[in-house]
Amino acid sequence: METNRSGLIAGVSHAAHMPQPFKSFFKELINSIRWYKRAANLQSHATVLLSSEVEKGFGFRLVCGCIGTKPTGVLGLLSIPSALVFSIGIVLKETRIQDFSYNQVHEKFLQANKSMWSALKCPEVWRPCLYMYLSLALSLDISVGMFYWYSNPTAGPAFSESFIGLIYSVGSIGSLLGVLLYQSKLKDHPFRSVFLWAQILTSMSGMLDLLFLLRLNLNLHIPDHLFGVIDSGISSFVGNLKWMPLMILSYKLCPPGVEGTFFALLMSIDNAGFLTSSWAGGLLLHLLKVTRDEFGNLWIAVLVRNFSRLLPLGFLFLIPTSDQNFAMLPSDIVLENSEHVIEKQNDIELEVVGEESELVSLIGKS
């Protein structure tokens, strides 16, 4: 039990650090709005890195489980990289900005809100945003019920905690395969066609859970452990085919000058979709009286979830038919925000030139 606790802490703690390597990737991805054909490639690299981080976290969990490290020891090991980063931050020196005008912060805040509001009012922006929310919200999340069924010794296959971790690790391998397929075959196709087949495949892949619940895999002479691994790999594979075009679409919707702020807004919309999906899935399990010990109606929940994954097909008209390599924002929004970006760059250049001339004059007097 102590080993399982230490492994769980290691997995959760490592997952908490996973977003850190992607900050530089997201910066490039957001800036790739000006170089449209780079967005898909950079998103593929970011997803590969994320999947490798999941594999590394699972490997760390196995190491901690094998050596029998206590939870306190696991947290101590995980604190070493953070302590090193903190120490480097203290050692590095930064140039202090003199005579900083705090009024600029207020002006930039108002300008960013104005740019974001003008972008959201455009049908080319709010329609895809609405589809992203509906696509995620209508895919009901019943993973809690499936998790309890996995580990149940009577109604389910009685998977151990370690094997469930292995299932999730294999799922990240399926994510890598999804990246390869998207990068090689799907990145040049129109958004609407990619989302169409992604939703259909997502619904079809959910039928594997139904086969598993009804134990039809045993009729096919496929052991529970092998079928669980196959199910997780295929689900992650198909899920990445849906997630990657959603991310590319988000990058295309960010207006110049406020890319970071607008991208954070879009990610908030996605998180709202995930939260709605989780609440709706929990409500469905509650109505069907599915608990950690009662799974009689879990197969109905799986059917409802698979059907709900087809509902976003009725909202595909919100997605433009344009190719993924072309711009989506109206030209007036791009030009309006680009003028502010150019003015900001000119101000920075003037400040640099002024500092250089002042330094030259000081050297001449000395």
pLDDT digits (tens, 9 = 90+) for 38-82: 555 555 555 555 555 555 555 555 555 555 555 566 667 667 777
Let me know whether 206 and 343 are in one domain: no
Instruction: Give φ, ψ of 190 to 5 degrees.
Output: -60, 150
**Within a domain: residue 215?**
yes
Let me know whether 189 and 256 are in one domain: yes
Comparing 162 with 152, which gets the higher pLDDT?
152
Query: How many structural domains compose the chain?
Result: 2
Q: Which of 212, 228, 233, 208 is nearest to 295 (CA)?
A: 212
Let me know whether 255 and 276 are in one domain: yes
Compute the average pLDDT of residues 283-308.
92
CATH of the domain at 215: 1.20.1250.20
pLDDT at position 3 is 42
**Within a domain: residue 94?**
no
Residue whose pair of structure tokens reads 């039990």 in the numeric block: 1
Let me know whether 216 and 160 are in one domain: yes
What's the domain range around 339?
330-361
**Within a domain: residue 103?**
no
Compute the average pLDDT of residues 7-22.
42
pLDDT at position 359 is 43
**Within a domain: residue 74?**
no
Let me know whether 170 and 227 are in one domain: yes
For residue range 110-123, what is the model confidence (pLDDT) as tens digits?
Answer: 877 887 888 888 88
Let me know whether 276 and 314 are in one domain: yes
- Show the tokens assigned to 85: 């980063």
Comparing 330 with 291, which gets the higher pLDDT?
291
- The helix-helix angle for 123-137 and 224-252 (nearest 10°) equals 170
Rounded Cα distance between 9 and 78, Å, is 10
Let me know whether 323 and 357 are in one domain: no
Let me know whether 190 and 266 are in one domain: yes
> Residue 54, Cβ neighbours under 10 Å: how many?
21
Rounded Cα distance between 289 and 309, Å, is 22
Let me know whether 291 and 356 are in one domain: no
Cα–chain center distance at 342: 31
Pick the range with the lowest mean pLDDT from 139-143, 181-185, 262-266, 330-334: 330-334
pLDDT at position 273 is 94
The reported pTM is 0.71
Q: What is the overall mean pLDDT for the chain?
A: 75
